[in-house]
Amino acid sequence: MYGVIFDFLRSYVIERHGGRATWDALLAEAGIGYKVYFPVAQYPDEEMVTLANTAARMLNVPVTAVLEDFGHFVGPSLVTYYEMFVKPEWKTFDVLENASSKIHDAIHRHNPKRNPPKLIATRTGEHQMVVTYQSDRKLCFVAKGIIFGLSQKYGEDIQVRETQCMHSGAERCRFEVVRRE
């Protein structure tokens, strides 16, 4: 996974969980030690899983909660960091619709080892959408958090219900997303 995500994890820990000392403690506890993540370098996916599991242990909360909360934090940060791929008039549903074909694909275009998540967002009504997520990384909790984070950024009241999950043997995760007036 790209270092930019690790760097956002660092910001998340520092801003939400007690500052630089907590980040250093997390790296140490995870057995990684001092490390700087460079945004465009690639790091093993397992390292992200180790960090999330270690954070969950240290906070005494389920790892799914850590991943979702991180997604919530990272959604708006991704839009800001990659603003060249996001039109200013877009809102949550537009970002979701364009996440796979325009955004992830563009980010990975020059990466021979690319393996971005497959996201398909289909509008099922004026205020409803179905989003499917498929990735070997099975980070659907992050995806769910990203949807919430985006809705907060765009000032929308959005409900997300996961109706099938790769963690329960489904081929892909499926979310029903409803925007309330």
Where on the chain is the footprint of ligand HEM (CB under 6 A)? Answer: 1-2, 4-5, 78-79, 82, 85-86, 95-96, 99, 103-104, 107, 116-117, 119, 131, 135, 137, 139, 142-143, 146-147
Closer CB to ligand HEM, 23 or 85, in the complex: 85
Instruction: Provide, rounded to whole angstroms, the least separation between the CB of residue 12 and ligand HEM.
Output: 14
CA dist list (Å): 96 to 44, 88, 92, 121: 26, 14, 6, 6
Closer CB to ligand HEM, 13 or 131, in the complex: 131
Instruction: Provide, rounded to whole angstroms, the least separation between the CB of residue 159 and ligand HEM.
Output: 14
Instruction: Provide, rounded to whole angstroms, the least separation between the CB of residue 24 and ligand HEM.
Output: 23
Q: Which of 135, 1, 26, 145 is nearest to 76 (CA)?
A: 145
Q: Are 107 and 143 in contact (CB under 8 A)?
A: no
Instruction: Provide, rounded to whole angstroms, the least separation between the CB of residue 168 and ligand HEM.
Output: 17
Classify each residue of 18-44 as buried b or exposed e, where b means 16 or more C-beta atoms within 10 Å of its C-beta.
Answer: eeeebbeebbeebeeeeeebeeeeeee
Distance CA 78, CA 136 (A): 21
Closer CB to ligand HEM, 25 or 43, in the complex: 43
Closer CB to ligand HEM, 66 or 143, in the complex: 143
